[in-house]
Structure 1
Amino acid sequence: MDAVARIAEVAAECPGTLAVAVRAVGEPGGLLLGVHEDVELPLASVGKLLLLAEVAMSLEGGILDAEERVALEDDDYCGGSGLLLGLSQRQWTVGDLALLTAAVSDNTATNALLRRVGLDRVNAAAAALGLTCTRLLDRIREPRTDADPPTFALGTASELAGLAALVAGGQGWQVQLREWMLANTDHGLVPALVRHDQEAAWIANKTGTDDGIRTDVGIMGGLAYAVLASGPPGSDQSLVAAVRQAGLTLSHLPQPPNP
């Protein structure tokens, strides 16, 4: 069974939607594999990649300084993933906040960084990179009420795999974003069933987790991928299994030649 057929089979068994897109590193325009790749889905913390991309571009352009100190405001603090809720320091540099966002998906760091940069600027940068469907709707909220936007971020696997391919093959700000993605501590989704050295530079990614959402976007060897799973509340275990099976299948794809 070829990879597309296998992932289509996994998607058919998934209690919701499983979307997968794979591109060759450095070739954001060429789709190697796609299943439901253009379906718009909630992203959970994978949406933080858009924020990190804008911060990386702003650092390169001199709009932001990595050493600029940002004071945390009470409204920035948010439960869920991260470390800042348990730390006493109230001021962090832009570089610190970006690393915390990338490495441990810190929701408080994300909110502080997003407040500093601005939601509109993040979405404008994403659109300039060719992400026409993928965007942020709001800051991180725990809990999210009916009065709030329905989710943090929305997007497609096709666009996010394109972003990963662009980041993997580029220089300048892309190098900074790759370094942040390499710092991610969560390898529990796409690479979970694939034998790899946790400390090697073989996987650089960003994951997202929420009730009924499991997402993973990144670079695995010479492949840039996006795997998005969305289902009804309580389906998390099945979504995790689907994403991991998709990751195992992608690991068996032929690696593109080095550019």
Structure 2
Amino acid sequence: MVAERIVEIFEQAGVTGCLHVVDLDAGVSGGDGGPPGGVPGRPGSLREVAVRADEQVVIASIFKVLLVLEFARQVVAGQLDPRERVLVTEDDRLGGWGVAGCADDAEVSLRDLAYFAMSVSDNTAADLLLRRVGADVPSMLAAELGLPRTRVVGGPRQLVETMLADVGARTEADFARIFPTLPPERVRAMRMFDPAHTTSSTAREITRLLGLIWRDEAGPPEACAMVRGWMARQLFWTRLASGFPPGVRVAGKTGTLPGLHLEAGVAEYPDGGRYAIAVFARAPQLATRRIDVDLAMGEAARAAVEALRAG
């Protein structure tokens, strides 16, 4: 019944949604169609809530969780100095928040690039960090962690280059002029919306990734703790966090493209309950700011978590 309620929440917001929520201390079943089952010591407890949880979807900036995880692992291994300085110049800027929006050159540490990439989803910071970590490494890390359906196709710069090519623009200024004039069907045909041609995963694999991080199984405990800390400092609160009452700590990472509203995170309750959440919503409109969709994501997440807590 909770799955039906969640579908209803999505429909009321006019979106198609994918959701996976799992009790991090109870385990999960093998697929959407499997029985919820129970866990040792908690007989009959519901372990997961899944709505289209195995559908391959574009994850956009949620890939930054993998990126900063690999950065943290390399720091702990002594391969990178988190204090290493990076000069961010005009040629590096991709537009957006954080150092991406600076008018002048800025010098920051690698560690601060990771912070900006997670807290405000800074694309320039993520692009520079990816260069230092290694462009192919996030995909290799996904494979190492047992996430076979999580694929990373380049970073923010590659996404921008693909977008320019798909609309026939030479510069970002050209893109800003051309994109609003395109019919919706032309926009939907762009590669950035096709899970087969861009960075993508499933809701189930993303909650698995979060579970590995929260249980210190995605790398050294110090590295996992770094990622949890950065995710807890995300500034955007209108999606998952909006659904939970005061006292529930929500750490998350958003992803946004025209018509796509995404977030993955973990809700931690004062009684120690921990729940990994992935909610992906696709709207027919191409707007990036839809507060009603964001709030519906939080409502759906809380409905799923409450069902797990009620057993």
Instruction: Please state which band the TM-score falls in when normalised by the shorter chain.
Output: 0.7 to 0.9
> Relative to structure 1, is the Cα distance of residues 28 and 165 closer, same or farther in structure 2, using a 3 angstrom cutoff?
farther
| Deviation by residue 1:1-36 (Cα, 9 ceiling, x = unmatched) | x42221132345564531111122256655511110
Residue 232 of structure 1 corresponds to 284
1:246 equivalenced with 2:296 (yes/no):
no
> Relative to structure 1, is the Cα distance of residues 16 and 188 closer, same or farther in structure 2, using a 3 angstrom cutoff?
closer
2:77 to 46, 51, 61: 61
1:6 equivalenced with 2:5 (yes/no):
yes
Residue 33 of structure 2 corresponds to none
Residue 182 of structure 1 corresponds to 232
Which stretch of the first structure deviates more once superposed, 232-241 or 58-67? Answer: 232-241
CA distance in 1, matches of 2:73, 2:310: 27
1:167 equivalenced with 2:217 (yes/no):
no
CA distance in 1, matches of 2:124, 2:137: 19
User: Mind listing any 5+ residue stretches in structure 1 that lack a counterpart?
Assistant: none
Which stretch of the first structure deviates more once superposed, 167-176 or 206-215? Answer: 167-176
CA distance in 2, matches of 1:66, 1:137: 25
- For normalisation by structure 1, the TM-score amounts to 0.86
CA distance in 2, matches of 1:114, 1:256: 41
Which stretch of the first structure deviates more once superposed, 22-31 or 211-220? Answer: 22-31
Residue 146 of structure 1 corresponds to 165
> Relative to structure 1, is the Cα distance of residues 9 and 256 closer, same or farther in structure 2, using a 3 angstrom cutoff?
closer
Moved beyond 6 Å, runs of 4+: none
> Relative to structure 1, is the Cα distance of residues 242 and 220 closer, same or farther in structure 2, using a 3 angstrom cutoff?
same
> Relative to structure 1, is the Cα distance of residues 177 and 28 closer, same or farther in structure 2, using a 3 angstrom cutoff?
farther
> Relative to structure 1, is the Cα distance of residues 140 and 130 closer, same or farther in structure 2, using a 3 angstrom cutoff?
same
Instruction: Report if aligned partners of 1:47, 1:135 keep a CA contact under 8 Å in 2.
Output: no
1:192 equivalenced with 2:242 (yes/no):
yes
> Relative to structure 1, is the Cα distance of residues 156 and 67 closer, same or farther in structure 2, using a 3 angstrom cutoff?
same
Aligned length: 253
Q: What code does the residue aligned with 2:286 have?
A: G
> Relative to structure 1, is the Cα distance of residues 156 and 172 closer, same or farther in structure 2, using a 3 angstrom cutoff?
same
The share of aligned pairs that are identical, in percent, is: 28
Give me the CA root mean square deviation: 2.7
CA distance in 2, matches of 1:212, 1:163: 25
Question: If you compute each CA radius of gyration, which structure gives the higher value, 1 or 2?
Answer: 2
- For normalisation by structure 2, the TM-score amounts to 0.73
Quote how far apart the aligned CAs of 1:69 are.
1.7
Instruction: Report if aligned partners of 1:21, 1:35 keep a CA contact under 8 Å in 2.
Output: yes
Which stretch of the first structure deviates more once superposed, 161-170 or 227-236? Answer: 227-236
CA distance in 1, matches of 2:282, 2:135: 24
1:33 equivalenced with 2:52 (yes/no):
no
Instruction: Report if aligned partners of 2:23, 2:308 keep a CA contact under 8 Å in 1.
Output: no
Instruction: Report if aligned partners of 2:90, 2:104 keep a CA contact under 8 Å in 1.
Output: no
| Deviation by residue 1:24-63 (Cα, 9 ceiling, x = unmatched) | 2256655511110011111121121111111111112222
User: Mind listing any 5+ residue stretches in structure 2 that lack a counterpart?
Assistant: 30-46, 168-189, 193-197, 269-273
Quote how far apart the aligned CAs of 1:179 are.
0.7
Instruction: Report if aligned partners of 1:230, 1:239 keep a CA contact under 8 Å in 2.
Output: no
2:202 to 131, 144, 156: 156
